[in-house]
Amino acid sequence: MRGRRGDRMTINIQEHMAINVCPGPIRPIRQISDYFPRRGPGPEGGGGGGGEAPAHLAPLALAPPAALLGATTPEDGAEVDSYDSDDGTALGTLEFDLLYDQASCTLHCSILRAKGLKPMDFNGLADPYVKLHLLPGACKANKLKTKTQRNTLNPVWNEDLTYSGITDDDITHKVLRIAVCDEDKLSHNEFIGEIRVPLRRLKPSQKKHFNICLERQVPLASPSSMSAALRGISCYLKELEQAEQGPGLLEERGRILLSLSYSSRRRGLLVGILRCAHLAAMDVNGYSDPYVKTYLRPDVDKKSKHKTSVKKKTLNPEFNEEFFYEIELSTLATKTLEVTVWDYDIGKSNDFIGGVSLGPGARGEARKHWSDCLQQPDAALERWHTLTSELPPAAGALSLA
């Protein structure tokens, strides 16, 4: 459009933007089901024409996800062993076996293989490995990890990872978290997907097979980015989780296997420190130098202290040492056996790893172990106990010992 000099040119907004603001009626987007017509009984198998399926055709009967993936059929009331979702399928599937051996207090995890993992590297492949955690609990203390398989989206591990010191109470309340990650030597390892299996779904001495789609990890927003309502909901959920887990919940620092036996011939208590499992790492190298101390409280004369040798650079030490306390059975009923595990450090205070107290004031398995020892003289009773972050009052002043 041309005009005389000095005249203001009027340009239609449609010409200026060079677009058609009225493209016509909006048509519905075709759904994915339109490309896969349902087929049912009939002379033409349901027909492939457009439009809706005839009313007399029944919907396609789909097999349950567990059957499609080859997983074992879950029991009534148990969670499904697979997930039929685009997100889960895009991350890949993981095949593994779980076995709870009640006699030896062990949980055997056989990581078999994965298929169709999400590519994480520039070459369209990944360097996957699997790591396990028992929740709730100290993640570093109970982490198990497989080897890394290089440049593959269908890795085969066939590795057996074992948790020791697993009790029936753990099977009731614990959840096994299985995460698949991509190892990156030049930067941080990347998360691919995870699976969470409640251990209550396992039956003692019966192997259970799983073949499940991986799920995404849903990160929790930082408190600064949350609204006041979200922060309140987050705090409420944490308090609810702690209430469900039990009152006075403390951080787990590992397990210890103790043997108790009251000798009627020697008239005393024989305490066996056998081994520890999945201790918390206290040193920068990812390990600890653990040793165990025992006290029989109250200790007026301060002569009840016993200490094992130090095991270097390990989170699963074996001690197999015994200590003897000369004491009458009637007096022993009023005492409390205090067992603490420490990390030995040269030139500075030793670090407290965890402890457990057995006596009339204890709770759960610790109290039962103590009462069984008093009621069954001359019988060696071995039990696993959970080490917690609670430091006994008398032990704090003796950390250098």
Which tokens in the block code for residue 344?
């030995």
Low-confidence residues of the chain: pLDDT under 50 = 19, 40-80, 82-88, 220-225, 236-237, 239-248, 395-401
Q: Is residue 166 within 8 Å of 202, Cβ to Cβ?
A: no
- Rounded Cα gap, residues 40 and 46, in angstroms: 5
pLDDT reported for residue 384: 92
CB under 8 Å to 125, separation ≥6 — which residues?
119, 151, 152, 153
What pLDDT, on the 0 to 100 scale, is given for residue 36? Answer: 57
pLDDT at 97: 95
Judge contact between 314 and 335, C-beta under 8 A. Answer: no
Distance CA 39, CA 307 (A): 75
Query: In this predicted structure, what is the pLDDT of residue 249?
Result: 52
Give CATH 2.60.40.150 domain extents, the chain: 92-214, 252-388
β-sheet with 306-307: strand ranges across: 306-307, 290-297, 336-343, 351-358, 381-388, 252-263, 268-277, 318-326
**Alpha carbons 190 and 121: distance in angstroms, whole number:** 10
Predicted confidence (pLDDT) per residue in 366-382, tens digit = 999 999 999 999 999 99
What's the pLDDT score for residue 280? 87
Joined together, the tokens standing for residue 232 give 């309140």
pTM score above 0.75: no
pLDDT in tens, 247-303: 445 678 889 999 999 999 999 999 999 999 989 888 888 889 999 999 998 887 778
DSSP string, 273-339: EEEEESPPP-STTS---EEEEEEEES-SSS---EE-PPPPS-SS-EEEEEEEEE--HHHHTT-EEEE
d(CA 295, CA 325): 10
The answer to whether residues 141 and 161 touch, using CB atoms and an 8 Å cutoff, is no
Question: Residue 142's pLDDT is what?
Answer: 79
Has domain 92-214 been given CATH number 2.60.40.150? yes
According to the model, what pLDDT value does residue 244 have? 46
Rounded distance between C-alpha atoms, residue 117 and residue 373, angstroms: 52
Q: What's the token pair of residue 304?
A: 């009840």
pLDDT for the residue 60 = 42
Superfamily of domain 252-388: C2 domain (2.60.40.150)
CA-based nearest residue to 146, from 121, 179, 116: 179
Distance, CA of 344 to CA of 272 (rounded, Å): 21
Specify the 3-state DSSP secondary structure of 63.
coil
